[in-house]
Amino acid sequence: MYYIGLDLGTSALKLLLMDEKGVILNIVSEEYPISFPKPGWSEQNPVDWWQAVVDGITELIKDVDKDKIQGISFGGQMHGLVMLDKDDQVIRPAILWNDGRTVEECDYLNYEIGKERLSEYTANIAFAGFTAPKILWVKKHEPENFQKICKIMLPKDYLAYRLSGVFCTDVSDASGMLLFDVKNKCWSQEMLHLCGIRREQVADVYESFETVGTIKSEIAAKLGLPTSVKIIAGAGDNAAAAIGTGTVGDGKCNISLGTSGTIFISSRQFGVDDHNALHSFAHADGYFHLMGCMLSAASCNKWWMEDIIDTKEYMKEQEKIETLGENHVFFLPYLMGERSPHNDPNARGTFLGMSMDTTRADMTLAVLEGVAFAMRDSLEIARSLGINIKRTTICGGGAKSPLWRKIIANVLNLEVDIIESEEGPGYGGAILAAVGCGAYQSVEEAADKLVKVINTISPEKELAEKYEKKYQVFKTIYPSLKTIYPLL
């Protein structure tokens, strides 16, 4: 039997076809535009996502026995605000996870409502990318659109709705809205009231591996699929990537170097750090996780390579880097502001330490190191909670770089496991589809059988010690610049 995983990313939809043994049979990618109407704003048209689904599935399954396709599930960009009216039409472009317009709304939630109350209601505090502040922004700045709202959705859930007709979400994605009581896995009535939202305007909530319905007959006919195909709830992209890397159960870790960057720690127990620097979310395996999220990770390298030094020869530029641990240039990777652990939408990308002998290779290396150092910031929060992480898996576009993997291993001083499939959310989505269709009894069973480690990058004692000294410098830079960023 075959299963489809849809990875709704920020720049493209990646579609993956997998059999019951975890073998990837085909991968297709469909790009769509992103708009930045004002500095710090980030939007997309959900209709573009749907067209990518139609075109992508058609291409994905053109050469296979379509009667063998049993289920479709998702990994999707989190936090985006999708609003539909009474006719199921998109009211306005979706406000995305990396949009920073909600500074005032976050200040209202964090300082007038209060972080303690928010944490009590949702296990988290307000970050600029979360969904609830976006709802408050629409309520204040676009009241005519706010009045039209019939359904509030997350990005991947719009696709599930178009496919199945079921208004649904899952626990992992709902956790990032600041409307969800993570501990009890239900909507927070207090937060819905604060945002002026009625219960019927938010979806029914499922575990990530649960079936929400079957594909609509007219969509099945359009795509050439059997009407028996099940639609499984799916997960937020980071939780889906964790499934795809085997980060399930208790005390496992995954690092994702995608457009954004995350460090994801799975747990069987619900927990919150005292300062809410890490997100406390429900996991797609039925349990919980802690996550640190930086808004710009591999996107920093893309920006540096393509927009600044005008090349797409990523590996060629990295080949010029000869020595690690001795770079005098530092880079703060806050191109879209920063979430974990600083929660500062005003922060900006910063180079520091250049001199007349600084080279292009030094600058390139500083970008790679800066992302790793920022990732370490979140790891240190986890360590302060007594969580003893010794090793991690890694995924995302940036994880394809051997150099960057080596830097991550030594900056974080972790064993870094390379898995056979680095497809992250798409593979995780396909695994969730397989579980939802009964091919496996649980997400943990599926991950144990399907996810295979093929290599491990170990930290080198001398290099890790050099990077330890560099990190001690790095972590002093942001506090020193924090008051300057708002002036920019």
**Domain membership flag for residue 444:** no
Same domain as 371, residue 295: yes
pLDDT at 173: 98
Same domain as 304, residue 351: yes
pLDDT at 77: 95
Same domain as 290, residue 155: no
| Single-letter amino acid, residue 369 | E
**Domain membership flag for residue 95:** yes
pLDDT at 274: 80
Domain with 92, as residue range(s), is: 2-238
Same domain as 112, residue 39: yes
Same domain as 346, residue 407: yes
Tally Cβ neighbours within 10 Å of residue 330: 18
Number of domains in the chain: 2
pLDDT string in tens for the chain (488-residue length): 999 999 999 989 999 999 999 999 999 999 999 999 998 899 999 999 999 999 999 999 999 999 999 999 999 999 999 999 999 999 999 999 989 899 999 999 999 999 999 999 999 999 988 999 999 999 999 999 999 999 999 999 999 999 999 999 999 999 999 999 999 999 999 999 999 999 999 999 999 999 999 999 999 999 999 999 999 999 999 999 999 999 998 889 999 998 889 999 999 989 888 888 899 999 999 999 999 999 999 999 999 999 999 999 999 999 999 999 999 999 999 998 998 899 898 999 999 999 999 999 999 999 999 999 999 999 999 998 888 899 999 988 899 999 999 999 999 999 999 998 777 789 999 999 999 999 999 999 999 999 999 999 999 999 999 999 999 999 999 999 999 999 98
pLDDT at 422: 73
**Domain membership flag for residue 440:** no
Same domain as 377, residue 256: yes
Same domain as 210, residue 104: yes
Same domain as 152, residue 110: yes
d(CA 456, CA 458): 6
Q: Output the known binding site.
A: 78-79
pLDDT at 449: 94
Domain end position, chosen among 206, 238, 270: 238
pLDDT at 343: 85
pLDDT at 345: 87
The one catalytic residue in 157, 237, 273, 377 is 237
**Domain membership flag for residue 434:** no
Same domain as 251, residue 142: no
d(CA 471, CA 476): 9
Q: Output the known binding site for substrate.
A: 78-79
431 touches 450 (CB < 8 A): yes
d(CA 87, CA 452): 46
**Domain membership flag for residue 409:** yes
3 state SS of 185: coil
**Domain membership flag for residue 176:** yes
Burial class for 319, CB neighbours closer than 10 Å (0-12, 13-18, 19+): exposed
Active site residue 250: no
Domain end position, chosen among 192, 213, 238: 238
Nearest residue to 178 (alpha-carbon basis) of 113, 257, 259, 273: 113
CATH number at residue 74: 3.30.420.40
Domain end position, chosen among 176, 207, 238: 238
Same domain as 163, residue 296: no
Same domain as 203, residue 254: no
**Domain membership flag for residue 428:** no
Same domain as 232, residue 250: no
**Domain membership flag for residue 260:** yes
pLDDT at 424: 78
Helix pair angle (461-481, 402-412), 10° resolution: 80
